[in-house]
Amino acid sequence: MAQRVRKAVLPVAGLGTRFLPATKAMPKEMLTVVDRPLIQYAVEECLAAGIEEFVFVTGRNKGAIEDHFDSAYELEATLEQRRKTVELKQTQNATLKAGNAIFTRQQKPLGLGHAVWCARHWIGREPFAVLLPDELMVSSPTCTAQLVTAHEMTGGNVVAVMDVPREQTGSYGIVATRNEKNGLAEMTGIVEKPKPEEAPSTLAWIGRSVLLPEVFDHLEKHETGAGGEIQLTDAMAKMIGHSPFHAMRYNGQRYDCGTRIGFLEANIAVALHRRDTAVETRVLLNRLLKG
């Protein structure tokens, strides 16, 4: 039987250069979609999948993330005094259970694979989820919950994938698969950022996975790949053939909040989707489009 997925790694040590100057002093993962930061969406996605322990791999200037998940004593006391119960609840909801989060540092942004490797001591030898918080997923069950279910069925590594236009393969890890059944396929390869003409398919890894701890044994070698970075996808490729590896077609919406337009789209889409903001957003958009 597959071991239960209890822990998640959230790599947040990147420089966020595509969002400068917003990310000069503030972490990209604290950018807000409607009223909560991207990192909170990722944490909530995990909690909905039964994952309650978190390893945040942070870097310089990322202190705001740690503070966001801490309790804010003075603020909470003031909200209580002013009887702002809804706001108080929202603030408290962002607090993680005591002792359930670890913040470790990737001193240099050497690549996503290196960031995940930095979490090795806190994960130990059990399966774990990895989420890139700048990808926002909206679905029920959550993308991570879908992966956990797939892991329970297969007992191995599972990555979430989606079809992308062929001209965009150079921005993704692209998978090769066989024997797809009900959206789950055996993975036979994964290539980081291939040129469109060299891509084995148009199925892109979208920043969500459940991985076995063997991935650390490969990351340990610190081999660099595309862009001179230590790539997580290269370590994944090395596991194929040694432990079960599947690609799961994600069923839901995905917004690439690492880009300005993707981030804007996420804000509009979430605002249109939420009951408390939908009507006003629609009116606002109509007005802006007419103007």
Contact 177, 203 (CB under 8 A): yes
Q: How far apart are CA 92 and CA 85, in angstroms?
A: 10
Using CB under 6 A as the binding rule, whether residue 106 contacts ligand UTP is answered as yes
Which range of residues in 5-13, 162-170, 211-219, 279-287 is near ligand UTP by CB under 6 A? Answer: 5-13
Which range of residues in 71-79, 110-118, 139-147, 179-187 is near ligand UTP by CB under 6 A? Answer: 110-118
15 vs 47, which CB is nearer to ligand UTP? 15
Q: How far apart are CA 189 and CA 237, in angstroms?
A: 6
Instruction: Write the burial class of residue 61 (CB in 10 Å: 0-12 exposed, 13-18 middle, 19+ buried).
Output: middle
Using CB under 6 A as the binding rule, whether residue 164 contacts ligand UTP is answered as no
Q: How far is the CB of 258 from ligand UTP (least distance, A)?
A: 4
5 vs 10, which CB is nearer to ligand UTP? 10
19 vs 245, which CB is nearer to ligand UTP? 19
Residues 244-283 that bind ligand UTP (CB under 6 A): 258
* Residue number of the CB atom closest to ligand UTP: 14
Q: How far is the CB of 93 from ligand UTP (least distance, A)?
A: 22
The neighbouring-strand residues paired with 285 are none
Nearest 5°: the CA angle 106, 111, 115 is 35
Phi and psi torsions of 96, nearest 5° = -85, 155
Name the nearest CA neighbour of 191 among 151, 131, 234: 234
Using the rule CB under 6 A, which residue among 47, 64, 109, 188 binds ligand UTP?
109
Using the rule CB under 6 A, which residue among 9, 12, 236, 237 binds ligand UTP?
12
39 vs 185, which CB is nearer to ligand UTP? 39
Using CB under 6 A as the binding rule, whether residue 173 contacts ligand UTP is answered as no
Q: Please give the single-letter amino acid code of residue 45.
A: E
Q: Please give the single-letter amino acid code of residue 19.
A: F
135 vs 245, which CB is nearer to ligand UTP? 135
Using CB under 6 A as the binding rule, whether residue 127 contacts ligand UTP is answered as no
The per-residue b/e assignment along 22-60, b for 16 or more CB within 10 angstroms, e otherwise, is ebeebbbbbbebbebbbbbbbbebbbebebebbbbbbbe
14 vs 173, which CB is nearer to ligand UTP? 14
Q: How far apart are CA 289 and CA 291, in angstroms?
A: 6
In total, the chain counts a number of residues equal to 291
Using CB under 6 A as the binding rule, whether residue 64 contacts ligand UTP is answered as no
Q: How far apart are CA 291 and CA 284, in angstroms?
A: 11
Q: Please give the single-letter amino acid code of residue 126.
A: E
8-state DSSP, 252: S
Q: How far is the CB of 56 from ligand UTP (least distance, A)?
A: 9
Using CB under 6 A as the binding rule, whether residue 111 contacts ligand UTP is answered as yes
Q: How far is the CB of 116 from ligand UTP (least distance, A)?
A: 8
Using CB under 6 A as the binding rule, whether residue 15 contacts ligand UTP is answered as yes
Residue 228 CA: distances (Å) to CA of 3, 12, 111, 218: 34, 19, 8, 17
Could you give the string, one character per residue 42-61, with x where binding to ligand UTP holds by CB under 6 A and - elsewhere? ---------------x----
Q: Where does this chain bind ligand UTP (CB under 6 A)?
A: 11-18, 28, 57, 106, 109-112, 114-115, 132-134, 258
